[in-house]
Structure 1
């Protein structure tokens, strides 16, 4: 591996420090605050704006330390962000990145840290970081978690999501499909799986900015109730419903799923909401939806999943938990299906849409980068960097198979086992 750059300088010292920790030369190019550079000329460029970035890594040598430095504007990747992360991941995988922290290595690292002026108190985390208090998944704490993520500002979300304001995996039928077309295809797929017809009553749990309930009412004549814990989402959705002339068919509420008491509904959709529920609350979640459905009513649960062998995120060091989805939990699709079945539902269909989410996220990253200055104006530089890192890393996770997304269609059977579904899948998707 050919190295080009400074004969010394800060970059040289940083390169030596990282090479000591990794037991090999660092396969990235490092550019430091004093103008020095080192590393392969064709590798992704890691730009260190000041020594605080390294001090953060010294105090938190994990993804949280990297995220804090990036959100604070102290560490960045030059060039297209998703491609840079992807290349960095490939290099990390191919090189092994086996860290050897024996006592000799520790002494070398300590000497290097002193040389770089890294010894000192840990820098304060960026203001975008959050740590929630109170009982996990209590209604009050869940509301605070949702507010942190969704009340960033509707104008900010519009830049990222586009006119559909749909914040979940789209369905891309063709290479030339646009984001708007793909999101319309997704909500229509949900409507068809639920068998919506004129006059039916449908509940959308976690309705976001109202895309599905509006589609259900406008295209199928359904009476739709959408619930969300975000006041900002509810305000936007109500305005959108009124503009579409659908106020007689659509009701938007700021309400927890555990508080809905005006069933039965003919169908229930939950699109990208179950990730917020938490493993311990899945039985409560599933039972609440079961009780709200009439016999032969259908549930469509659309949720991100983790591979069964993947470790559960450590909330103490997780970028996602501290900056993006506090208290969010991903479960294997088998666990989600089991929770749904155990309360009495019959699972009739499972569809994986993993590749579709990778493309959706890349489209959102492209929207954010194309409107970068405006995104910063509407939120903060740190918030924009949080979203770019989160969406880019998530796109790569979906594409690699580390996480997936699945639609589970379930039915509340009658006492005699009736489902109301045609026996052939193609018949209820037509």
Structure 2
């Protein structure tokens, strides 16, 4: 007697075609309840034919991501173990060039969809997908504002649940893995202040100031006078509220302003933490020149940015990250970033790699999202919460593997008769 081919069996072939493997790395549950795949492997549930239809129309990372964001596919086990298993197939990458499905694999997908009744028009993307690419020229001021709004204007309540009281949305600095997220974020802010040599009355520009955490820390702990700029209206509104509650309105000015429009130099120090990723390679010479122009001779700049390791840099517009998380984002490698910054009369004082710290930070954010899942969904949407869960968990694995890094580059503008310390002791 021959065994019946189940929905899960057919879906296994479809997923294998997308992943480019004949050995499925996860266990699959079909919409009819059937299960197939290696025993003990993480379980992925395909809840509807619509998920398969998305794979037919977008056979790769984007089709799978759309199905997951829409709730047509689900993860039944640990999110990190599941994504780690899927990545072993080799075709799912955080970004950068990815192998494409062959025509044979596409025909196999189409045949599976025919057998399972999943043929039909292309489903509309989930509402959480970005339409920024239709907003004019790439990295124009209008389009950059739209890209920032897509990522950051999703509700301050949602970000509070994920980030916690620190409201810092960049890599923390951990003394040990047991440090705790809030303490690690405070340590990062303090490290930046020490690297910049902030003292009472120092005029600091915080480019991409987020919800004001760096500005508040610099003003409270070091007496700095701070201008913070962001393109996010929601961030600025909350940052101003936090500044007022801290009694620092005389020391901190929060603006909704493009960094290219700042004209009230000079500043004694500039911090750019997690902002350069939005600038774009074509705009990097202008970014470097503008920050150098705004800085007084002898002033310091700290540029904290994610980098592709091994020379990769482009965020593909058809990738999950490009469509759902960072539209128009571009990640340069460390050498490129240093080259642009050195070309404008800036001397490199220090470079610190924090790759492992970002993996710990992302895992902590995922933990907070999972702990507050119902509240996070209520604060934004289930699709948006799914986007952040997928993006943060996958990113943690990418940092752990060494594919991505994050670096703090400290520079000093030439002139001013000021010499940096002989060793790092001044800020360690």
The 5 A counterparts of 1:98-117 are 101=102, 108-117=108-117
Conservation of the 8 A alpha-carbon contact between 1:234 and 1:252: yes
Q: Deviation at 1:310?
A: 2.4
1:199 lines up with 2:201 in the alignment: yes
Structure 1 residue corresponding to 2:25, chosen from 24, 27, 47: 27
> Which residue pairs with 2:11 in the alignment?
14
Structure 1 residue corresponding to 2:58, chosen from 44, 60, 63: 60
> Which residue pairs with 1:153 in the alignment?
155
> Which residue pairs with 1:396 in the alignment?
397
> Which residue pairs with 1:169 in the alignment?
171
Deviations 1:356-388 (A, max 9, x none): 000000000000000001111010110000000
Q: Does the C-alpha gap of structure 1 residues 151 and 17 become closer, same or farther in structure 2, counting only changes over 3 Å?
A: closer
Determine the C-alpha separation between the residues in 1 that align with 2:111 and 2:220: 67
Q: Does the C-alpha gap of structure 1 residues 23 and 202 become closer, same or farther in structure 2, counting only changes over 3 Å?
A: closer
Q: Deviation at 1:28?
A: 1.8
Q: Does the C-alpha gap of structure 1 residues 390 and 17 become closer, same or farther in structure 2, counting only changes over 3 Å?
A: closer
The 5 A counterparts of 1:236-251 are 236-251=238-253
Q: Does the C-alpha gap of structure 1 residues 114 and 340 become closer, same or farther in structure 2, counting only changes over 3 Å?
A: same
> Which residue pairs with 1:3 in the alignment?
none
Determine the C-alpha separation between the residues in 2 that align with 1:46 and 1:201: 52
Q: What's the Cα RMSD here?
A: 1.9
Q: Deviation at 1:423?
A: 1.9
User: Greater CA deviation, 266-275 or 17-26?
Assistant: 17-26
Q: How many residues align?
A: 417
Structure 2 residue corresponding to 1:288, chosen from 287, 290, 305: 290
Conservation of the 8 A alpha-carbon contact between 1:58 and 1:118: no
Determine the C-alpha separation between the residues in 1 that align with 2:118 and 2:227: 55
| Structure 1 residues without counterparts, runs of 5 or longer | 1-5
TM-score (norm 1): 0.93
TM-score (norm 2): 0.93
> Which residue pairs with 1:126 in the alignment?
126
Conservation of the 8 A alpha-carbon contact between 1:29 and 1:41: yes
Deviations 1:174-233 (A, max 9, x none): 232111100000000000000000011100000000111101010001111111111111
User: Greater CA deviation, 361-370 or 70-79?
Assistant: 70-79
> Which residue pairs with 2:351 in the alignment?
350
The 5 A counterparts of 1:158-237 are 158-237=160-239
Determine the C-alpha separation between the residues in 2 that align with 1:99 and 1:189: 43
Conservation of the 8 A alpha-carbon contact between 2:25 and 2:88: no
Determine the C-alpha separation between the residues in 2 that align with 1:192 and 1:131: 40
| Structure 2 residues without counterparts, runs of 5 or longer | 92-97
Q: Give the match's secondary structure for 1:85.
A: helix
> Which residue pairs with 1:50 in the alignment?
48
Deviations 1:326-355 (A, max 9, x none): 111000011110100111111111100000
Conservation of the 8 A alpha-carbon contact between 1:23 and 1:99: no
1:329 lines up with 2:326 in the alignment: no
Q: Give the match's secondary structure for 1:174.
A: coil
Conservation of the 8 A alpha-carbon contact between 2:208 and 2:275: yes
Q: Does the C-alpha gap of structure 1 residues 23 and 146 become closer, same or farther in structure 2, counting only changes over 3 Å?
A: closer
Determine the C-alpha separation between the residues in 1 that align with 2:255 and 2:139: 20
Q: Deviation at 1:91?
A: 5.9
Q: Deviation at 1:90?
A: 3.6
Q: Does the C-alpha gap of structure 1 residues 226 and 61 become closer, same or farther in structure 2, counting only changes over 3 Å?
A: same
